[in-house]
Chains A and B, each alone.
Chain A
Amino acid sequence: MASFKPTKIPIYPKLGEKVTPDTLYWKNYKAPVQIKEFGAVTSIDFSPLAPHNYAVTASTRIHIYGPFSQEPVKTFTRFKDTAYSGKFRSDGQLLVAGCEDSVVRLFDVSGKVALRVFKGHTKGVHVTDFTSDCYHILTGSDDYTCRLWDIPNSTELTSYKEHTDYIRCGTTSKLNRDIFITGSYDHTLRVFDARVEKSVMTMDHSQPVESVLLYPSEGLLVSSGGRYVKVWDLLKGGQPLVSLKNHHKTVTCLGLSSNGQRLLSASLDRHVKIYNTTNYKVVHNFDYAASILSLALAPDDESIVVGMTNGVLSIKHRKSPEEKQEVAGKQRVRPVYRVFVKGRNYVPKKDDFFVSKPVKSHLAKYDKQLKRFNISKALDTALELWRKNRKPDITVAVMKELDRRGTLKNALAGRDEQNLSQLLNFLIGNVVDPRFTPVLVTATEMILDIYQAVVGQSSVVDRQLVRLQELVEREIDYQQDLLEVLGMLDTLFATSLPRKEVPCPGSSRPNGLAEGGLGAPGPQLQAA
Chain B
Amino acid sequence: MVEHAEIRMVRRGGSKINFREPVITNDSRFLLCAAGESVNVYSTSTEEFVHDLQGHTDLVTGVVLNPSNHLQVYSCSADGTVRLWDFMDGILIKTFIIGYPIYSIYVSEKHGGVVFVVVPMANYKSSELFQLVAVHLPRSGDQEVEARELSAVLCDVSPHPGAVSFGREGEYIAATKGLQLEVFFFKKQKSYRFSLKSGMKKGVKNAFTCVSCHPKEDCIATGHADGKIRLWRNFNQKKEYTYTTLHWHHGAVNTLCFTPEGTNLLSGGIESVLVHWHYTQENQKDFLPRLGAAITHIAVSPDGSLFCTSHSDNKITIIQSCVKVSAIIQGLVKGDGVWTDLIIDPRSKALVLNGKPGHLQFYSLHRDKQLYNLDIVQQEYINEEGLDQFEVVKAAFDARGDWLATVEERRKKGAELEINLKLWAYDKLTQSFVLNTTVTAPHEDRITGMFFSPSPETTMLVTTSLDDHFKAWLLADHSDTKGKLASYSEGFWSCDFVGGYHLLKPGCCSYSADGSLLAVGFQEVVTVWSPASWELLTTLSQPPGAIRDLCFGRLSCSKYLLGTSTKNQLCCWNLLTCSLEWSTPMDVSLLQADPLSENMAAFCSQSGSSDLFVFKPSEPRPLYSQKALCTGKVQHAVFAPRDQMLESCEERTQWLNRSQTSAQLTPLSRSLPQLLHTPAHVLPSASFLCAMFVRSLLVSRSSLCLVGWGTLLHSYFQVSPEMFDQVQVRAPAAPLKDIQRLVPKPILRFLGCVLRVVVLLQGEPSPQSENRL
Give chain A residues whose Cβ lies under 8 Å from the Cβ of B536.
Answer: 500, 502, 523
Q: Mark B375-390, 1 if CB is under 8 A from A, else 0.
A: 1001110101011111
The answer on a CB contact under 8 Å between A527 and B498 is yes
A507 at interface by CB-CB < 8 Å: yes
Which of A370, A517, A521: most chain B CB closer than 10 A? A517
A260→B739 CA distance, assembly (Å)? 75
The answer on a CB contact under 8 Å between A509 and B538 is no
Give chain A residues whose Cβ lies under 8 Å from the Cβ of B543.
Answer: 512-513
State how many angstroms separate the Cβ of B82 from the closest Cβ of chain A.
37
B608 at interface by CB-CB < 8 Å: no
With A10-B440, A526-B498, A528-B496 given, is the CB distance from A514 to B387 under 8 Å?
no
Which of A401, A508, A528: most chain B CB closer than 10 A? A528
The answer on a CB contact under 8 Å between B438 and A523 is no
The answer on a CB contact under 8 Å between A514 and B292 is no
A523 touches which of B375, B386, B390, B502 (Cβ 8 Å): B502
A524 touches which of B503, B540, B577, B579 (Cβ 8 Å): B503
The answer on a CB contact under 8 Å between B537 and A503 is yes
With A10-B438, A404-B410, A503-B538 given, is the CB distance from A509 to B580 under 8 Å?
yes
Give chain B residues whose Cβ lies under 8 Å from the Cβ of A513.
Answer: 524-525, 539, 541, 543
The answer on a CB contact under 8 Å between B438 and A508 is no
State how many angstroms separate the Cβ of B44 from the closest Cβ of chain A.
17
| Number of B residues, CB within 8 Å of A | 51
A527→B498 CA distance, assembly (Å)? 6
The answer on a CB contact under 8 Å between A524 and B379 is no
B486 at interface by CB-CB < 8 Å: no
A510→B571 CA distance, assembly (Å)? 13
The answer on a CB contact under 8 Å between A514 and B541 is yes
A525→B535 CA distance, assembly (Å)? 9
Interface segment among B114-122, B208-216, B283-291, B623-631: the answer is: B283-291
B241 at interface by CB-CB < 8 Å: no
With A1-B288, A5-B378, A8-B379 given, is the CB distance from A506 to B498 under 8 Å?
no
Closest to B472 in A: A528
The answer on a CB contact under 8 Å between A2 and B290 is yes
A511 touches which of B291, B388, B501, B579 (Cβ 8 Å): B579
B380 touches which of A5, A21, A525, A528 (Cβ 8 Å): A5
The answer on a CB contact under 8 Å between B537 and A512 is no
With A10-B440, A404-B410, A528-B471 given, is the CB distance from A511 to B386 under 8 Å?
no
Q: Mark B354-392, 1 if CB is under 8 A from A, else 0.
A: 000000000000000000000100111010101111100
With A4-B290, A8-B379, A10-B440 given, is the CB distance from A511 to B500 under 8 Å?
no
B578 at interface by CB-CB < 8 Å: yes
B578 touches which of A406, A511, A521 (Cβ 8 Å): A511
Give chain B residues whose Cβ lies under 8 Å from the Cβ of A7.
Answer: 379-380
State how many angstroms separate the Cβ of A355 from the closest Cβ of chain B.
16
Give chain A residues whose Cβ lies under 8 Å from the Cβ of B527.
Answer: 523
Q: Is the interface of B mostly helix, strand, loop or mixed?
A: loop
The answer on a CB contact under 8 Å between A405 and B540 is no
B580 touches which of A8, A371, A510 (Cβ 8 Å): A510
B384 touches which of A406, A506, A509, A517 (Cβ 8 Å): A406
Give chain A residues whose Cβ lies under 8 Å from the Cβ of B469.
Answer: 526
With A8-B378, A528-B497 given, is the CB distance from A514 to B538 under 8 Å?
yes
Give chain B residues whose Cβ lies under 8 Å from the Cβ of A405.
Answer: 382, 384, 387
The answer on a CB contact under 8 Å between A5 and B537 is no
Give chain B residues whose Cβ lies under 8 Å from the Cβ of A10.
Answer: 438, 440
Q: Mark A493-522, 1 if CB is under 8 A from B, else 0.
A: 000000010111111111111100100110
The answer on a CB contact under 8 Å between A2 and B292 is yes
Closest to A438 in B: B416
The answer on a CB contact under 8 Å between A504 and B578 is yes
A6→B418 CA distance, assembly (Å)? 20
B485 at interface by CB-CB < 8 Å: no
Q: Which residues between 375 and 413 of chain A lie within 8 Å of chain B, taking CB atoms?
A: 401, 404-406
State how many angstroms separate the Cβ of A307 from the closest Cβ of chain B.
36
Closest to A516 in B: B541
Closest to A524 in B: B500
With A406-B384, A406-B386, A520-B502 given, is the CB distance from A1 to B291 under 8 Å?
yes
A443→B77 CA distance, assembly (Å)? 53
Closest to A505 in B: B578
Give chain A residues whose Cβ lies under 8 Å from the Cβ of B578.
Answer: 504-507, 511, 514
Which of B325, B471, B496, B499: most chain A CB closer than 10 A? B499
Give chain A residues whose Cβ lies under 8 Å from the Cβ of B387.
Answer: 404-406
B495 at interface by CB-CB < 8 Å: yes
Give chain B residues whose Cβ lies under 8 Å from the Cβ of A370.
Answer: 380
A278 at interface by CB-CB < 8 Å: no
A325 at interface by CB-CB < 8 Å: no
Closest to B527 in A: A523
State how many angstroms separate the Cβ of B668 from the closest Cβ of chain A.
34
B415 at interface by CB-CB < 8 Å: yes
Closest to B537 in A: A503
A371→B325 CA distance, assembly (Å)? 20
A434→B379 CA distance, assembly (Å)? 23
A458→B579 CA distance, assembly (Å)? 74
The answer on a CB contact under 8 Å between A523 and B541 is no
B501 touches which of A2, A514, A523 (Cβ 8 Å): A523
A525→B538 CA distance, assembly (Å)? 15
27 contacts between A and B (CB under 8 A): A1-B325, A5-B375, A5-B378, A5-B379, A7-B380, A8-B379, A10-B438, A10-B440, A21-B480, A404-B410, A438-B418, A502-B539, A503-B538, A504-B578, A508-B579, A511-B542, A511-B579, A511-B580, A512-B540, A512-B541, A513-B524, A514-B540, A517-B525, A523-B499, A524-B501, A524-B502, A528-B471
List 13 extra interface pairs beyond A506-B579, A526-B469, CB under 8 A.
A1-B288, A1-B291, A6-B380, A8-B378, A401-B379, A404-B389, A406-B387, A502-B536, A513-B525, A514-B539, A523-B527, A526-B498, A528-B495
Which residues on A are within 8 Å of B, measured CB to CB? 1-8, 10, 21, 370-371, 401, 404-406, 438, 442, 500, 502-514, 517, 520-521, 523-528
Closest 4 CB pairs of A and B: A512-B541, A513-B541, A509-B579, A506-B577
